[in-house]
Structures are given as C-alpha cells and as structure tokens.
Amino acid sequence: MTDTTELTVYGADWCRDCRRSKALLDQEGVAYRWVDVEASKDAADEAQEISGRQSIPVIVFPDGSFLVEPSDEALRERLAAV
C-alpha cells in the first residue's frame, strides 16, 4: 500500500491544509508520494480506512503511523522523530 522509504500524502488540490502540509514537506526537502483523493474513489476510501475519518490530508509515515490534518508544528515534530 505505502512505500517503505517515503511518506504518502492523501489529499486534494483544493484543500488548504493539504497545500500547507505539502509546502512544508517541500521546504524541508522531504520525499513523499502524493495521492489525489479527488482523482480516485479508491484513494479516498484508502485514506479513510487508514485514518478512520474523512478529513485530509492524511500523511502516512514509513512505519505505518499517520497524522490527519496536522498543524505545521505537529508535522515538524513528527518529521524530527523519523
């Protein structure tokens, strides 16, 4: 399902929180796979199955842990722990 060496970000282009999280990841030079939940119902279902919620972004880490709609601070803290 997810790559073991990079993050997977489930989101949509219209989502402000998704754009913010992507910008932070780009700024930090973090490799990630973008999965557009608007382009695929399967992707949307997968994101919901992972998080148990319909909220995005869902950011999945290589160890299988995830964050849903993280603040920049929460995302930075989690990235520092990787």
pLDDT in tens, 12-36: 999 999 999 999 999 999 999 999 9
For the chain, what percent of residues have pLDDT higher than 70? 94
Tokens of 70: 């993280």
When pLDDT is averaged across residues 36-40 and rounded to a whole number, the result is 96
Q: Which two tokens stand for residue 82?
A: 């990787």
Dist. CA 28–CA 30, nearest whole Å: 6
Taking the C-alpha atoms of residue 6 and residue 60, their distance in angstroms, rounded to an integer, is: 9
Predicted local distance difference test score (pLDDT) of residue 82 = 78
Beta bridge partners of 68: 58
Task: Determine the 3-state secondary structure of 3 from DSSP.
Answer: coil
- Predicted confidence band of residue 1 (pLDDT cuts 50, 70, 90): very low
- pLDDT value at residue 33: 96
- Quote the CA–CA distance of 6 and 31 in Å, as a whole number: 6
Task: Categorize the per-residue pLDDT at 5 as very low, low, confident or very high, splitting at 50, 70 and 90.
Answer: low
Ordered by where they begin, the domains of the chain are: 7-80 (3.40.30.10)
